[in-house]
Chain A
Amino acid sequence: MSVLLRAEHIDKRFGITHAVNDVSIDINAGEVRALIGENGSGKSTFCQMLCGIYTIGGGTFTLDGQVMNVRNQVEANRLGVSIIVQEMGTLSGLTVAENIFLGHEDPFMHYGIKDTRAMIREGQRLLDEYGFNNIRAGAMIDSYNFEDRKLVEIVKATYMKPKILIVDETTTALSQNGRLELYKIMDSVRADGRSVIFISHDLREILERSDTITILRDGEYIDTVNSKDVDEDGLKRLMVGREIGSAYYRTDYGTEISPEVVLSVRDVTVPGQIEDVSFDLHRGEILGFGGLSECGMHEAGKAVFGASLERYGSVTLADGTAINDIPTAIKHSIAYASKDRDNESIILNESIRNNIILPSIDDLAEHHILSGGKLNRFAQEYAEKMQTKMQGIHQFVSDLSGGNKQKVVLARWIGKGSDILVLDSPTRGIDVKVKQAIYALMSELRAQGKSIIMISEEIPELLGMSDRILIMKDGKINGEFKRSESLSEEDLIAKMV
């Protein structure tokens, strides 16, 4: 097999963080190479240097015998490296076609004037070729949902047949159908003798879809293995550097749910999102919410927290308090961690300290006066309790990895001492080790008699952690399951679609 991409002594530092430490790997032509590691292991940084988003801190990439020296993503594209990113990678305010050809408009330019019609025609031809004919090349990208926009991005990244296609955590944003489309494209890249670098936290997917797997840990190269020769536990061991216990999810079955109701939701409707949703949350219970991503379960979580902008029906606590706005919810011991962590759960451009103290500020004030020392101690205590990996509590949250951001979110609510926690996609984009810590924390909180609503798009997580599962479909509750060993993924899926 011939080497398509040779990375030699690749290095990158951000301030005192050594994000990528002297990594050398070869990627062969015609393979799908998975790159795995925990959050902060350097896999995304490595790929972003390869495709020109970050400047290379040290070392060289050699593609097809030619040393790459790119200054930006467009230049990397031209050399044959393209990337599909984890978050939104399309630009609002442009048409689908303009997004596809962004940075590559030259073929459509005549004397400095863009031939819009030719661009749309070509865009549509590509979309049809990929089988995405429900997307119109001339329409504004904003008229499509997250998933369709991801498909547009896939076209954008692959239509010019890149030598190296990087798929960075894209699958978490896609439904099953979208994933299958992406897998097809990955397979065709491989069949052409080109290569895919595949990043995902879903180890099962990694094992199914890749030929070889390279493991990074704390920015360093650990090993490269054949996918055929390893299993999930073996990979976890390599990623974490120690044995991961089998106690990943809860193992207890058959515990009675307390009859004591702590929160009642009655006939809650949010126009266009959810309709007549009613349920009770019991003391010491983990109530799972599952469904397809547009089924309304995320909005249901917001409704409980009083965060919906327009809501009918009632959310009441056991003592009769009505929850209609966020400050009331927080005051009465309700916590909320959003799926949209970076916008709704934490203030990115703020310190860890100020993020942790924010909901508890009234409790920390004495006669309405805040003392810096007391705030510091509070933030320190709970950041440490959650074992947040940080340089100090004054570090900005924007510097942290996804898992550590989530730890900050949880630290603030543990610090607040909330009794009802609404956790929307609590482990989204989070690595094994932190995932395990979050599950352990949930079990601990449950044992303390706190109640948790866990909204999740991951079925194994719902089955593994919930005392009771509600499945939503088209904004309504479509099924209820009790915790049981015999409950299967298929049972839940049957109620989702």
Chain B
Amino acid sequence: MRKGAEKLISGDKLIAFYKSSVTAGRIMAHRNNDEPSKLREFLDGDLFKGLLPFLGLIVILGVMYYLTDGRIMQPKRVRLLLSQVYYPMIVATGVFFVMTLGSIDFTEGSTLGVASIVISELSFYSIPLAILGGILTGALIGAVNGFFHVKFKLQSFIVTICTMYLFRGVCAYMTTETAIPASASIKALDSDGLKIGITIAVLVVAYFIFKFTRIGNDVKAVGSGETAARFSGVRTDKVKFLTFVAAGALTGLAAFVNVIKVGSITATAGNQLETQILISLVLGGLPITGGAKVRFSNIVVGTLMYTVLNNGLVMLGLEAATQQLIKGIVFLIFVALTIDRKALKVIK
């Protein structure tokens, strides 16, 4: 049974919300006969697609604010919310580059699990060694993905699903007996300042690479048109391999942030992280086809949106099944609205 009536969403509010959204839908669907294509053109335009994630974040925040009577904006709630943003945002940054290639990576969850184990074990010797170990573990898994993707010309979709099972298995095997504890000294590092610091540093460096270096440009070029990029002098195989390595390394770094937060690692560490990241980035407006139309803001907006949505649904006291259902619907609507139909092709 659910407890605490104040936590529950009142029936009236749900009905009011439903009514207003139906009205909004009618307004959206209304077509003026004199200008039949203007609205359509705007909805299909790049400007709207670019703004949509920001609008979405505001709408979701607004809706959650309304439904929770403003409780979601209480300082302690905001702090809790932010604490759930750090490591997904770091992971999402790496996956952002993979998806810009037009590829996909399903190994974040299992990578995070394995890297967390390595970090916990090494944390008893030296903290810097533990961090390094985590990053290297992630990079190594990324290298395995990249190697099979590039050398055997397998689609990243297939490769990373296989390696996801593989490393999930490794993670489960190492944690069969008992959960793996981390040292007290690493847990003592847990502070908002450090976590914010690492997250911002990752974002800044990644933004710089994405915007102002050749490798960032090459990643985008491969995503937009791999053959033409190759004929323009881009070493496409190298770019793809390095991107997977970098994504793995970032997940390894995120594992460090995870370990200082949770303190001990169980078989379920990082479970379902890959879908969370994928949903976040798509919510943030990242076209799943990658290429020219990706925006760096996709990472930040998307991760925030997912976390707000997730937290709001929990605060509303909805059952897990209902939460999943609602998340599924929101995800579907966003993919339908943001996907670039002109660039549709199979994910590499």
Contacts and interface: CB of A to CB of B under 8 A. Distances in A.
Partners in one complex: yes
Interface of A: 15, 305, 307, 326-327, 329-331, 336, 338, 343-351, 354, 358-359, 361-362, 365, 368-372, 396, 398, 412
Contacts of B13: none
Contacts of A369: 212-213
B231 A326 contact: yes
Given A326-B233, A358-B234, A370 B292 contact: no
Interface of B is mostly: helix
Chain A CB count within 10 A is highest, among B220, B228, B230, B235, for: B228
B296 to A, nearest CB: 13
Interface in B221-273: 221, 224-225, 227-235
Given A326-B233, A336-B231, A348 B212 contact: no
16 contacts: A326-B230, A327-B233, A327-B235, A343-B228, A344-B231, A347-B225, A347-B228, A348-B224, A348-B225, A349-B291, A350-B220, A359-B232, A365-B214, A369-B213, A372-B211, A396-B292
Interface of B: 41, 211-214, 217, 220-221, 224-225, 227-235, 291-293, 340, 342-343
B347 to A, nearest CB: 15
B207 to A, nearest CB: 13
Chain B CB count within 10 A is highest, among A15, A305, A396, for: A396
A129 B221 CA distance: 48
Given A350-B291, A362-B214, 15 more contacts: A307-B230, A330-B233, A343-B228, A344-B228, A345-B231, A347-B224, A348-B228, A349-B292, A350-B221, A350-B224, A351-B292, A359-B232, A365-B213, A369-B212, A371-B212
Contacts, number: 83
A361 B211 CA distance: 13
Contacts of B342: 349, 398
A347 B217 CA distance: 13
A365 B214 CA distance: 8
A345 B293 CA distance: 20
A136 B214 CA distance: 50
Contacts of A370: 211-214, 217
Nearest to B225: A347
Contact of B227 (A336, A344, A350, A365): A344
A359 B227 CA distance: 14
Nearest to B41: A15
Contacts of B231: 305, 307, 326, 336, 338, 344-345
B214 A354 contact: no
Nearest to B345: A349
Top 4 A-B pairs ranked by shortest CB distance? Answer: A347-B225, A330-B233, A358-B232, A350-B224
Nearest to A302: B231
A350 B292 contact: yes
B43 to A, nearest CB: 14
Contacts of A336: 231
Given A354-B220, A354-B292, A347 B229 contact: yes
B213 A349 contact: no
Given A370-B214, A370-B217, A349 B225 contact: yes
Contacts of B232: 330, 347, 358-359, 412
Contacts of B340: 349
A368 B228 contact: no
A354 B212 contact: no
Contacts of A398: 342
Contact of B214 (A15, A348, A361, A371): A361
Nearest to A365: B214
B228 A345 contact: yes
B25 to A, nearest CB: 25
A359 B233 contact: yes
Contacts of B214: 361-362, 365, 368, 370
Chain A CB count within 10 A is highest, among B212, B225, B233, for: B233
Nearest to A361: B214
A345 B225 CA distance: 10
Contacts of B229: 347, 358
Contacts of A396: 292
Nearest to A347: B225
Contacts of A345: 228, 231
Given A327-B233, A351-B292, A346 B228 contact: yes
Nearest to A357: B217
B212 A349 contact: no
A306 to B, nearest CB: 10
Contacts of A344: 227-228, 231
